Structure 1
Amino acid sequence: MRRFTEGLHGYVVAVLVCLGAVGLFLLVTPRGDVEHIPRRDYSITVANFSRTVPYAVWAPATDPEGWIPNSNRVVDGENGARALHIGYATAEREHAMFMQSDEKPAAEFANRMANSDKAVGTQQVGGETWERRFREDKKQRTLVRVLPDVTLVVTGTADWPELGQLAAALRQRPKPTT
């Protein structure tokens, strides 16, 4: 018995026993092959945000097919401006986010959210023109639409057609009465 606990032979036996234990553990541990992306309902965040800003809020009327809303928040910005953020995992499992704010100047908000101040063209979405921006080092594409009372930004690693799907889903919601 002493032969199994001493020298190189003992070391090899100990390593094989450990590898066998790890292999057995991996064999009996349940694994899910199903992707799990947490779903976050943004309806309450949008409703609360709508009550705190002086303009009619934009939000997706419906989520694009196969998309999972996975984050939402309200951010207090400069000069009392507030911003709404709604994040998604797209059908292609890329990231997309919709943001809006009445921050002035609008260009500063758009530049910060796009991580770029350079337009690379335009894109028609539902009959409206959105400005395209692209930041190559982050592979971040952004659509920007500046309206008189609010700036809308759709951004992420999703491709242009997917970002267009999210922009097309946006609808202005009536301002709640108090």
Structure 2
Amino acid sequence: MGDHGAVAGKRGENRTVQNLVLSLGVTMVAAAGIYVFIPHDDSKDPIKTVNTRVEVDQVRRTAPYAVAAPEGLPREWRATSVSYRGRSDLGAVWHLGYLTPDKEYVGVEQSDTDRVRQYVADVTHKAKQRGGAVEVDGKKWNRYAGEKYNALVREEPGVTTVVTGTAPEQDLLRMVDALEMKKGQRPSFAPQGTESPSAKPAE
């Protein structure tokens, strides 16, 4: 009687395992069917881009220096990040990030800090200045090279501009060539009870 009970127990265990395996197989088949029949776009570009126009216009009205932003870059150059901090340990800092057509990174960085060496080291991942400089539109840019990023750096009174990234120097130069340094007018507010010069009476 004991033997019969043991055999019955083993059969029960085998059936349980078989049921689990069968259930798992059914689940996997169902999941595969859902994936096949639900529309999905494998060709969709996973890179998230941003529109920088509004931020550029706003920051140019508030930053204490002429803000750098590219104009006329090919459409294949995609903006992926933009930020501005009016106050930080390294001054008022402006950032734009782009991906080149070869999916290499190029960043535009600016600050009015007096700690120029620290700032350049931070945004270039500790790249070091190397011999020689390049001239673009009559302006001198110092070359930097590092294990992760290369960079072109221009120091001017009140602002340091850095073009840096994983892209080759020809792409960094292309970005430098496209940069426009502009400073917009701060918004003016008419005193209470007076009309703004640009306002027109309602007809």
Fold-level match, TM-score > 0.5?
yes
Identify the residue that residue 34 of structure 1 maps to in structure 2.
44
Q: Larger deviation: 165-174 or 53-62?
A: 53-62
Partners of 1:24 and 1:117 in 2: CA distance: 51
Report % sequence identity.
27
Identify the residue that residue 72 of structure 1 maps to in structure 2.
82
Q: Larger deviation: 121-130 or 111-120?
A: 121-130
Q: Secondary structure at the match of 1:6?
A: helix
Q: Would you say the 8 A contact 1:101–1:152 is kept in 2?
A: yes
Per the TM alignment, residue 74 of structure 1 is displaced from its structure 2 partner at its CA by: 0.4
Partners of 1:46 and 1:90 in 2: CA distance: 20
Per the TM alignment, residue 153 of structure 1 is displaced from its structure 2 partner at its CA by: 0.8
Q: TM-score, normalised by structure 2?
A: 0.72
Q: In the TM superposition, what whole-angstrom CA distance separates every residue of 1:116-145 from its partner, at most 9, and x where no partner exists?
A: 152234453535442233332xx2222211
Q: In the TM superposition, what whole-angstrom CA distance separates every residue of 1:15-54 from its partner, at most 9, and x where no partner exists?
A: 3212211211221232221214333222222222222233
Determine if the alignment matches structure 1 residue 134 to structure 2 residue 149.
no
Partners of 1:160 and 1:135 in 2: CA distance: 12
Number of equivalenced pairs: 173
| Cα 1:123/1:18, change in 2 over 3 Å | farther
Q: Would you say the 8 A contact 1:125–1:167 is kept in 2?
A: no
Partners of 1:20 and 1:149 in 2: CA distance: 65
Unaligned runs of 5+ in 1: none
Determine if the alignment matches structure 1 residue 52 to structure 2 residue 52.
no
Q: Larger deviation: 25-34 or 7-16?
A: 7-16
Q: Would you say the 8 A contact 2:142–2:153 is kept in 1?
A: yes
Residue identity matched to 1:107: R
Q: Work out which of the two has the higher radius of gyration on C-alpha atoms and give 1 or 2.
A: 2
Q: Secondary structure at the match of 1:152?
A: strand
Q: Would you say the 8 A contact 1:64–1:165 is kept in 2?
A: no
Partners of 1:120 and 1:64 in 2: CA distance: 29
Q: Would you say the 8 A contact 2:127–2:150 is kept in 1?
A: no
Match of 1:149 among 158, 178, 193: 158
Match of 1:108 among 106, 115, 118: 118
Q: Would you say the 8 A contact 1:116–1:133 is kept in 2?
A: no
Residue identity matched to 2:83: R
Q: TM-score, normalised by structure 1?
A: 0.81
| Cα 1:141/1:162, change in 2 over 3 Å | same
Identify the residue that residue 172 of structure 2 maps to in structure 1.
163
Determine if the alignment matches structure 1 residue 91 to structure 2 residue 101.
yes
CA RMSD after TM alignment: 2.6
Partners of 2:24 and 2:46 in 1: CA distance: 35
Q: In the TM superposition, what whole-angstrom CA distance separates every residue of 1:45-67 from its partner, at most 9, and x where no partner exists?
A: 22222222333222212334411
Per the TM alignment, residue 152 of structure 1 is displaced from its structure 2 partner at its CA by: 0.7
Per the TM alignment, residue 174 of structure 1 is displaced from its structure 2 partner at its CA by: 4.6
